[in-house]
Chain A
Amino acid sequence: MTRLLAVLALIVGLAGPALAVLPDEVLEDVALEARARDLSKELRCPVCRNESIDESHADLAREIRLVLRERLVAGDSDAQILDYMVARYGEYVLLDPRGGGTNLILWGAPLGLLLLGGIFAAVAIGARREAPDALSPEEEARLASLMDDAPKG
């Protein structure tokens, strides 16, 4: 059976999973390569389900990684490269959506809820607060002596 499996594997001709960033892609310049890796993590592989091009094994992801490195070597800034990718593949490739336009809601909604919740919590705590009469100095002293006698609770 195991032999059958091996034969089957050959017939099906499956390539094993390629690693994401391959040795031949890596740039000589360590600083540039580090920037390339950081940028790769912000770009989505357009043909994959939900992976960045840094993680993806897909051919297209490899192509984009190579283009990205070409641009870096050519001296583009990070922002320029992201703009270039957006122009080529659409806003879809950005894993960190840009703040403009309707995306303000994405950032604003949680902040709004935090603010609203904060106000609500403050009101709730305020409403639940005791309006305690402060202890008089004698009461404080008596309490202190009692506390010293009893095991602390």
Chain B
Amino acid sequence: MIAELGHFALITAFAVAIVQTVVPLVGAWRGWSGWMGVASPAATAQVLLVGFSFAALTYAFVTSDFSLRLVVLNSHTDKPMLYKVSGVWGNHEGSLLLWVLILALFGAAAAWFGGQLPATLKARVLAVQASIGVAFYAFILFTSNPFTRLVQPPFNGEDLNPLLQDPGLAFHPPFLYLGYVGLSMAFSFAVAALIEGRVDAAWGRWVRPWTLAAWMFLTVGIGLGSWWAYYELGWGGFWFWDPVENASFMPWLIAAALLHSAIVVEKREALKSWTILLAILAFGFSLVGTFIVRSGVITSVHAFANDPDRGVFILGILAFFTGGALILYAIRAPAMQAKGVFGLVSRESALVMNNLLLAVSCFVVFVGTLWPLFSELVFDRTLSVGPPFFNAAFTPFAIALGALVPLGSTLPWKRGKGQVLRKMLPVLGLALAVMGLAWAMQTGQSLGGPLGAGLGTWLVVGALVDLFSRTGRGALADRFGRLFRLPGADWGKAMAHGGLGIVFVGVSGLMAWQQEDIAALDIGDRLTVGRYEVELKGVEQVLGPNYVATRATLEAYEGGEPLGRLYPEKRIYPVARMPTTEAGIDSGFTRDVYAVIGDAQVGGGWAIRVYIKPFANWIWIGSIIMALGGVLSLCDRRYRVAAGARKVAAPRGGVPAE
């Protein structure tokens, strides 16, 4: 009964979304405020209805209602409660329901917090947002209904894919969808602005928090996914350039570009039409990602629901929204008059460079991801594009971007001069020194490791110097005092840029200086990798709630001193008929000791593989710092949005004008 109510609520939400699309648009066109006023309550109604529908599905999973097809396919009574809940979105249908829930949530948030938006803009934004909803409700209801019942319910379910039964992956999809779908807000604002024919600083200010939130969620989502891959897939890779990963990375890159160009619109009223284009593309790439993950046309390690019919439907949605918005853009964009003028060396120019690099690097990922498909269709040439290509083609952009950030972010608006170089010269010296030190200390001739260490220093120290320079002049103590009264956006910027530097160190260090070895060990044998030793203490069978595991006990030593014990496992999930590996990891600040257990060997003993992974944690710590930078910046924004038209009084103590 509850499932039927959930289904009914979903159909009602579909109807409400149709009304929310049509009525406010007509109202805004005719200037009827009553019709425009429909948008806000409709958005609230939508979120309540989809929320109920989602709760109904969750209830079915939690109570193991095996009369629902979806629950049978993805759950089991023995599964821990956390994974019963996360099982709701660990499959195609349920994750789509989560998708529309988040879509409705963002729409409602715009209705609730968009009080200061001009009435017509608000009506149009909500209408465009609802039209995306209409497409996805139709997709769910007509091709992927999560509430399908079975005539003869089985005794128990078939369990969730064991790889997904993991805390990292339980929360990875919700964050990723918050990011993907969050970009729909930027899209709705862009299309609404195109219909209005008006883009100004205020528009830039409204669209930025939404983009920032979406970018932050994407950062967390991608970070979680990468962390999960690192400890779960058994060889400690953190990024595979798999199509599905690229699907999340492309919107992230465009969102980062959009974030920066929206600043230019807000502060300087330049780059307007480019910013609109980016907003359309960002959501377009989200839809491309949806297509890649759900259509099955591109083989990937973790695509789910490979159904060509669904692929065609998503392709239709993609073509309609991206194509439609681009046509609208082509008609309306020439009317956008840019105002701000700026010199060759200025913050604006640096941000143009940032946008160029991010957009082209996104295109590299896009071409590489779709090339096998394209080549096979058009040239009848079956081939693969993998990590070697992406590493070679993407890295130059990352390096150029990293080199640009500290310079660009310290440049003044409008016109810069040499003073920036003078300020950054010591930082550059320090970065070069670190690079040289890394070069001298490393074994081997890797170029990437020292380069990453140098770029990381350049970014982190550059961000700190930039932050400190915003405290103005005066005694050191005063300046430190002022440091903590700087606006959240300044701190957010410094943290996001510094976090990027930390990620650079982690990625390059891990790739350049990883060590590994594998051996067949008997109990009591030792395996030496670099300065580290691992001794096999024992191997035992362990029973989990819904799996059986072979667990090794390893004692790790660093330079002869004991580090602690590692417990790598090899699990088998009998119901799902799938094995998984759980690495035993000793996490450290400068390195992880990472051990995996393999099969029992014919000649006796167990295959044990040990990796030393330098700076691995820096990748995820850096990602978290980047996301926190987004949060800080967002808090600042909220304050300023709440302050509304009220002029913010010039703070005492000379916080510099932007």
Contacts and interface: CB of A to CB of B under 8 A. Distances in A.
Among A14, A19, A52, chain B packs the most CB atoms within 10 A around the CB of: A19
Contacts of B657: 153
A152 B367 contact: no
Contacts of B367: 106, 109-110
B581 A17 contact: yes
Contacts of A102: 375, 378-379, 381
A99 B599 CA distance: 40
A148 B301 CA distance: 62
A97 B237 CA distance: 22
Contact of B382 (A52, A92, A114): A92
Nearest to A54: B235
Interface in B455-482: 472-474
A26 interface: yes
Given A6-B548, A16-B598, 19 more contacts: A9-B572, A12-B577, A16-B599, A18-B607, A22-B598, A49-B300, A52-B386, A95-B386, A96-B389, A96-B392, A110-B364, A117-B359, A125-B348, A125-B349, A129-B341, A129-B342, A132-B415, A151-B474, A152-B656
The size bracket of the interface on A is 35 or more
Contacts of A5: 78, 543, 546-548, 574
B444 to A, nearest CB: 10
A152 to B, nearest CB: 5
A146 interface: no
Interface string B332-373: 000000101111100011001101100110011001100100
B472 A152 contact: yes
B607 A19 contact: yes
16 contacts: A14-B578, A19-B234, A21-B518, A44-B386, A95-B388, A95-B389, A101-B381, A102-B378, A102-B381, A117-B356, A121-B355, A125-B348, A128-B270, A130-B341, A151-B654, A153-B656
B574 A14 contact: yes
B579 A117 contact: no
Contacts of B378: 102
A103 interface: yes
A95 B543 contact: no
A55 interface: yes
Contacts of A26: 518
Given A17-B580, A49-B299, A109-B367, A23 B601 contact: yes
Contact of B387 (A19, A20, A52): A52
B415 A17 contact: no
Contacts of A121: 352-353, 355-356
B575 interface: yes
Contact of B579 (A3, A16, A20, A44): A16
Contacts of B342: 125, 128-130
B393 A107 contact: yes
Contact of B385 (A18, A93, A106): A106
B385 A95 contact: yes
Given A14-B577, A23-B607, A152-B472, A113 B363 contact: yes
The size bracket of the interface on B is 35 or more
Contacts of A117: 356, 359-360
Given A102-B379, A118-B356, A14 B579 contact: yes
A41 interface: yes
Among B237, B383, B550, B578, chain A packs the most CB atoms within 10 A around the CB of: B383
Contact of B234 (A17, A49, A118, A152): A17
Nearest to A37: B516
B237 A55 contact: yes
Interface of A: 1-3, 5-6, 8-9, 12, 14-24, 26, 41-42, 44, 49-52, 55, 90-97, 101-103, 106-107, 109-110, 113-114, 117-118, 121, 124-125, 128-130, 132, 151-153
B240 interface: yes
Among A49, A52, A96, chain B packs the most CB atoms within 10 A around the CB of: A96
Interface of B: 78, 234-235, 237, 240, 242-243, 270, 274, 299-301, 338, 340-344, 348-349, 352-353, 355-356, 359-360, 363-364, 367-368, 371, 375, 378-379, 381-389, 392-393, 414-415, 472-474, 518-520, 541, 543, 545-548, 550, 570, 572, 574-575, 577-581, 596, 598-599, 601, 607, 609, 653-654, 656-657
A93 B550 CA distance: 33
A89 to B, nearest CB: 11
Nearest to B577: A12
Contacts of A41: 387-388
Among A26, A50, A109, chain B packs the most CB atoms within 10 A around the CB of: A50
A129 B387 CA distance: 41
A24 B604 CA distance: 12
Contacts of A109: 363, 367
B299 A94 contact: no
Nearest to B352: A121
Contact of B235 (A6, A14, A55, A93): A55
A106 B368 contact: yes
Given A50-B240, A130-B343, A8 B388 contact: no
Contacts of B386: 42, 44, 50, 52, 95-96
Contacts of B384: 44, 92-95, 97
B166 to A, nearest CB: 15
Contacts of B363: 109-110, 113
A94 B388 CA distance: 10
A1 B77 CA distance: 11
A132 B580 CA distance: 66
Contacts of B474: 151
A51 B520 CA distance: 24
B360 A9 contact: no
B520 A23 contact: yes
Contacts of A90: 382
A87 B602 CA distance: 34
Given A128-B341, A130-B341, A96 B388 contact: yes
